[in-house]
Chains A and B, each alone.
Chain A
Amino acid sequence: MNVPDHLRYADSHEWIDPGSPDAALVGISDHAQAELTDVVYLELPEVGRTVSKGEAIAVVESVKAANDIYAPVSGEVVEVNDGLAEAPEPINEDPYGAGWMVKIKVSDSSELESLHDAGSYREHVS
């Protein structure tokens, strides 16, 4: 299982890149995509939406089930990965790269600190 060291992780398996808090990339972890398998549909939020940590911001659907994706931190959605709405395969194939879902302008950077680092996330999913 791939858990990049430079990212932060929520209990609910979203990752966020803390390196650029004005437009922090958010996606779901390799573990999450493996559990979901075969993502067939992604519903993304509107750009400009203000979100609170833990709020459902997207829906990812496999053949079998619909699953909510939660904002790992509070902030504003500044960009969404529209291409995934047409072809969601990168969520499975490249969850930390082309499979990113939204960019969030982080409103409170202390929330980033409250997330798992890679080591703690590995323990969380083991």
Chain B
Amino acid sequence: MQQSPLHSRHVELKARFLPFAGWEMPIQYEGIVAEHKAVRDAVGVFDISHMGELIVSGAEATSWLNTMLTNDVGSLRDGEGQYTLMLNESGGVIDDLILYREAEDRYFLVVNASKIAEDIDWLQKHCDGDVSLENQSESWGGLAVQGPASVEIWKTLRPDLDLPERNGIVRHEEGWIACRTGYTGEDGFELFDTNEAIGNWFDQFLEAGVTPCGLGARDTLRLEKCYPLNGSDLDEKHTPLEAGLGFFVKLEKEAVFTGRSSLIAQKKEGIPNRLAAIRMTGKAPPPRQGYEIRADTGNPIGELSSGSLSPSLGTGIGMAYLPAAFTKPGQEVVIVIRDREFPAVVVKKPFL
């Protein structure tokens, strides 16, 4: 099990740990609800040192990435980033990631911890031309500072330096990288620095009053915003069109990306399943991943890919791939929890 460069700090903060993608990461410190609220109302800091960082460089980096990823790499200018997906031939999702253009011949990719090895394999297998791929995941520690007060906090620590614009990236001459992105639906930024230096940033944020937050709150925050979690809401069996991520798939761009023809075929034939947002309607236990969903007629129609109590709404929420006919907002469904049926309803995304 890999440990974060911040591990001893988490222990000192009395974090509870959880194995995640081969890493021993803090799931919570004070409590998921308190940490969730800190991010919605003020600012929290997450250890994201487990995330993967790749560098793609070379004269053909732009054109090659455009064949490997669904979003339009060509639309990025230096210092800009975009959410994008890497698909297999049948259009299933291998990984979802953020791609930042540092220069025309140099890109910084932030990928899911659980997919680093797979991503590298897939990319290397398809690598050709003047392109080189470097896995820097072992060299970077990372923090996500998230919440409406995150920029204010940054200004107190580094008044000399502005954060990049939304989705943007800045690489400072001191060596660290700041990206204006996150996974909570709040304003915020992600900071990457060496394993040795990341602890000092973490200490500074805590001293400035930022609440340390674990992966538990990260999960509830992203679920309220319907951001998919790879491995749960995204997998190789479902396309980004089924996941509702069509906005990040540019079928019309010049480059032909892997999976494109499958997506076009699926679009033509009709999208069979859609990732729906589901909310419990009455008093019910929190819905959880794997719970069966039934139509109001009692027929099983799917299972939850994610589920939790929503700390902001105080009710159970979840997502599930359901046959398209059942995914209109207002559709009543039933969630089976310990052999009992609880009423729920499909709602418009996001929950919050």
Contacts and interface: CB of A to CB of B under 8 A. Distances in A.
A59 B286 contact: no
A35 B31 CA distance: 10
Given A37-B28, A40-B309, A61 B286 contact: yes
Nearest to B338: A59
A91 B193 CA distance: 42
B31 A38 contact: yes
Contacts of A59: 285, 338
Contacts of A41: 285-286, 309
A63 B285 contact: no
Binding site secondary structure of chain B: mixed
Contact of A66 (B31, B34, B283, B285): B285
Contacts of A64: 27-28, 32, 216, 308
Interface string A13-47: 00000000000000000000001011011010000
A41 B311 CA distance: 13
Nearest to B36: A63
Interface string B18-60: 0000000001100111100000000000000000000000000
B229 to A, nearest CB: 14
A66 B32 contact: no
User: What class of interface size applies to chain A in its complex with B?
Assistant: 10 to 19
Interface in A45-92: 59, 61-64, 66, 85
Contacts of A62: 32
Given A40-B286, A41-B285, A63 B338 contact: no
B285 A38 contact: no
Contacts of A85: 283
B62 to A, nearest CB: 42
B274 interface: no
A5 B34 CA distance: 32
B32 A38 contact: yes
B31 A37 contact: yes
Contacts of B16: 35, 37
Interface string B191-232: 000000000000000000000000010001000000000000
Contacts of B286: 40-41, 61, 63, 66
A80 B220 CA distance: 31
Given A37-B28, A40-B309, A63 B288 contact: no
A91 to B, nearest CB: 13
A37 to B, nearest CB: 5
Contacts of A63: 32-33, 216, 220, 286, 308-309, 311
A76 to B, nearest CB: 22
Nearest to B284: A41
A43 B28 contact: no
A74 B120 CA distance: 56
A66 B216 CA distance: 14
A57 to B, nearest CB: 13
Nearest to B219: A64
Contacts of A43: 285, 338
A35 B32 CA distance: 12
A37 B32 CA distance: 8
A93 to B, nearest CB: 13
A66 B311 contact: no
A43 B285 CA distance: 8
Given A63-B309, A64-B216, A38 B288 contact: no
Contacts of A40: 33, 286, 309
Contacts of A66: 285-286, 288
Interface string B248-288: 00000000000000000000000000000000000101101
A87 B277 CA distance: 26
Nearest to B308: A63
Contacts of A38: 31-34
17 contacts: A37-B32, A38-B32, A38-B34, A40-B33, A41-B285, A41-B286, A43-B285, A43-B338, A61-B286, A61-B309, A63-B33, A63-B220, A63-B309, A64-B27, A64-B216, A66-B286, A85-B283
Interface of A: 35, 37-38, 40-41, 43, 59, 61-64, 66, 85
Given A40-B33, A64-B27, A66-B286, 15 more contacts: A35-B16, A37-B31, A37-B32, A38-B31, A38-B34, A41-B285, A41-B286, A41-B309, A43-B338, A61-B309, A63-B32, A63-B286, A63-B308, A63-B309, A66-B285
